[in-house]
Structure 1
Amino acid sequence: VSLPAAVAQGDANRPGVVVLDTTGFWRMHHTLRPPVIQLDSGPQPMDLRWHHPSGGRVLKTFRWASRETPPPPKDWAQVRFDDSTWLRGPARMSCLTPFLSRLCMRGRFRVTDPSRVKNLRLGVSYRGGVIVYLNGKEVARHDLPRGAAGKGLVAKGYAPEAFTPMNGWNGKRSRYLQLETEADIALRRRSADIPIPSGLLRRGVNVLGLEIIRAPYHKVVEEKKGKRGSRYCPYALAFNTCQID
């Protein structure tokens, strides 16, 4: 995340300055729900239980996996919203998990004279889809249906190749952390360069809101269920589909 701006000064323009980035302090809210798979019949929550081969008895399960956490208040992107109870830290301190369905982030910056701010732009990389707000007003969305909202909202899906685990579907599962290759990142990371309207700036504190929405897992993950899963989860979840990069 970076928010560079060129600030007019007299007859000359100063070089652009970054007013927000991933290393600065953000307030973050995580909404957790079971991962979703895009089947031919529509998006469906994953069944994270290991079943007996007969299809009956459950062998292993996460009892907490089907529990959802509360969403943020509806006015979370407004300037005067009290985010003091939210997690505070650099943007990449947000949790990394396939259970993350929605990540809401608030970044503050101060403007002394809005009329002098020109060419304000946001560069953001993410997994899933993104909605951008300035002082409570939506200014852009990418990889999401236009105007759609609500609990069932999901981002545009990924190609099946994006979900291939390291060493392939027939390879051996590693016991250690698996790093993404450049090819993996190219398939999974999405980026946007967004102009931010200066007319929405206010004198004093301004709030940039980012809302990352999960993308569904491809049906190939369901088709390969049990093939590369762990002892705790029958699915091979190669990457998180809701994440700030």
Structure 2
Amino acid sequence: MLFSALALILLIAVPEVFVVAEHIMFHPVKHYIGCYLHNENILALKPYIEGSPKMTHYLCLPKCQDLKKKFFGIGFDKCYCGNSIRSPSVPIYRCDRICSSIFDYKCGGNGVLSVYNVTGKIIPLLPAPSKGCYLWTPEERVLHAEVLDKFPVMNQEVCARSCLKKQALLFGLANGNRCFCGNVIISEAAEAVIEKRFCDKQCHNAESGQKCGGAVAIEIFDLVTTQI
């Protein structure tokens, strides 16, 4: 009964949290400029920056921020940046391609590009709000994905930035040097909350006093963002 109630709470809460996190990170409607012609004869924006089968606003926007461009555009699985829009606009319904895993937001269409204003740079808000300390072992997952990069330093900032790239809503630190990302706490682990004293392991090569979970514990945080 408790498990069923917990599952129901997660199903109800997660979409709302996703929208809140999405609202903080980027406003697709607020920053949307329009739908523009984009084909082999005329490009709305150039240059082409990157392609990904899971292209979204959150993958394209940081690329164009780093290049200090004014606009970014998405056409199917491709990301473009630029300081000027080089083609005429077309009716908005032409941009009918649904972005990968971003509800019904549009990412261009046949021969057209969805164009947005580049916003300020998005970074994790630190220190992050903790959701608590959970029982953890290397064989059991509390969050779905582990970041396997070999970081010279591990702390909240390093892990949060890595999980932000994955569009995660949560991040977790364990054993002083391990970083995990996810959108929900895996149901089997959701009730395994333990005392905060078990999440007392010094973060690997980080400033003294920074804690990154424990040998048998993972501390999980909300991945809240801010704009600079």
TM-score between both structures, scaled by the size of structure 1 = 0.24
TM-score between both structures, scaled by the size of structure 2 = 0.25
Relative contact order (C-alpha < 8 Å, sep 6+): which is higher?
A: 1
Q: Which of the two has greater helix per residue? A: 2
Q: Which of the two has greater strand per residue? A: 1
